Structure 1
Amino acid sequence: MDHLARAKGILGELIAFPTVSADSNLQLIAYASELLSHVGARISVMRDETGTKANLFATLGPEGDGGVVLSGHSDVVPVDGQNWTSDPFAMREEGGLLYGRGTCDMKGFIACCLAMAPEFAAMELKRPLHFAFTYDEEVGCMGARSLVEELKRMELRPSAAIIGEPTSMRIIEGHKGCFEYTTEFTGLAGHASRPELGVNAIEYAMRYINRLMALSEELKERAPSNRFSPPWTTLQVGRVEGGAARNVIASHARVEWEMRPVVDADASFVKENITSYVDEVLRPAMQAIHAEADIVTHVIGEVEGLEPVEESEARRIVSELTGLTEAEVVAFGTEAGLFQTAGMSAVICGPGSIDQAHKPDEFISLAQMDACLGMLERLGARLS
């Protein structure tokens, strides 16, 4: 069986596991573990606290540091409310395209890695080759954060990481971070005819949002020279809810917001400023009326960006494998920044287009799968 046929068959199996982030990925991890174990890989399955999610870290080749990591996330986004023309969890082939949830984001890359595993195992690898398949990337990169901490605990130091997010096989060397929060406001309900006797949570939520928007304008002035579009750190409020009725003082409100920092200093700037505003202005005003009033911010996820660097082993490797000499930056986030902060050189390059990700009738082309398999085959030759 040729590599493409094998990868296509594996992708069909992966798509059949409905690994939406809210659900378990254990069946997929068990399937991938079996394939890799069969070719002699050293396997480590790392479960989360609930026992329903797991990372898979597997190694071929020699023991030790300096290896290359092939990384992909196993979870997918939901299909609820989307108008699919076929079962999203049963892969369909038509006109050289493979349809199904996760085909490009990013089970296509995982399938290519697993399809090449027998060939990697037959090579005399001079450096370790690692497979890292994670959980919950789509809801805050929880699995990758846990994985890199586990690698630190194991005192294992891979040298380079290739994250196979869909880039149409272009080389991506940078993206912004993604920091997500939910801020909850607890006030005091009352009759709307006496607003001075209550604490309107919506009112304070509005003042909080206004402060965020003022900070967003200040961030434009702080932007360093860079290639991102837009070149400044962005702030965005995505959801606001609260209150019970128009004639009731709102006792609760919730604001869901995010920022995408260009540099870590911008994230610190926002957090320090909004925290000071809450501690020195909003909360004292609320508690002057009702001592139990409060504002609490919950961190949903803080995922570091991938910072472009002058010298990158991962970029050099992928450039040699693909023949591409240019590297780009993108707006979407990935797990790559977590690998970078763990001391690895990291780059993003994978099959499929991000334009298809998260949409109904998501697809990947056989041509893109074939290009990825070619890159991986050349990587094996390079490492041996």
Structure 2
Amino acid sequence: MGTDMRVLRRDEWDEWYDSLIRAFGGVPEPEEERAAFRGLTQFDRSLGVWDGDACVGTAGAFRFRLTVPGGAPVSAAGVTMVSVAATHRRRGVLRSLMRRQLDDVRSWGEPLAVLTASEPAIYGRFGYGAATHHVNARIDTDRVRLTVPAGTDDVRLRYAAPVDALDACEAVYARLVSRRPGMVARNPGWERLWVLDPESGRDGASPLQCVVAERDGEVVGYARFRVKADWEPAGPKGTVVAQDVDALDPAAHAALWRFLFDVDLTSAIDIRRRPVDEPWQYLVSDIRRCSLLVRDSLHVRLVDVGAALQARTYQAPVDVVFEVEDAFCPWNAGRWRLTGDAKGASCERTEDAADLALSVRELGAAYLGGVSLAALGAAGLVRELRHGALAEAAVGFGSTVAPWLPHGF
């Protein structure tokens, strides 16, 4: 029997979502989280594969605005909720979902598709490259000290109920979005996800807490966290489990981190998904006792090479012809001349001789400025056809701040 792929209908959502949950282990989500994702689902951008009455494949694509180098927001399809039932592996279901989805993204006029991968090995064959990374850390606050910059003492901190402070916190986040490539502007409704606080999601820690940073009556930062209590014969050894720490300036950033370091009855901070260049790393007395772990985060796929490359700016002048390989989206294959600088760029088809040859996967990895084209060249993934072209392009593609995706989707 064959399968049927179709756009998701509202009356099919429960079975579609149950199929997704089963593919990711089958542990039910708290009802409030399930309800939140039902409300966020964009049905006209979601696909289901059906074998008779059974849903055996799922995929969605949120409509996002992604910050690129230069600060511009670019339309991007946030690929999400991708699954294939274990009963239907190795039948081409995933490939057919990716084929239909990228065709749809192109028809919507969105030059980028982005995702976070449960298994990074899956998506490279569809042209996605790992473009951002994040840091997880466990900081030993018994042994690590924090040095703070001038002005930190001018920042006032106060506790606030997470829901009550949500609008102020989101206003801070919105001001940060254009400052760092990889960040996404949150669509209405997304802000509620960060204050959902089911007991099943606390892993034995406290309910979610929030501290707001203020200067002259203006909110300039916030931290959302839990405290996981623990004791040993010598005394308390609790852990601060930090969920979000965002601030508009160095003093506010330092004030929030100093607070987290000093929470009573704790001796460690656990934090996940932080920028690889986050400033606290340069304020600590002993980085080795912070147990840093770097992981891939946002994977980027250029759906329209020309539109994507001219949507961002370049920190140094570039004039380079790429020979692009893209077997999965052949409309991208061929030669493209990119010219650009810090003010803008153009990218057009050309018959000129190529300077660099690479696949669309490498272009996606380098697109946000966090992965160096030169490093990809050293790995043999970018071929230099004109001497000096690789160094020129690598400098131009770089970013003064590391790209960062603050949260999954």
Q: Give the TM-score, by structure 2 length.
A: 0.28
| Structure with the higher helix share, 1 or 2 | 1
Q: Give the TM-score, by structure 1 length.
A: 0.29
| Structure with the higher strand share, 1 or 2 | 2
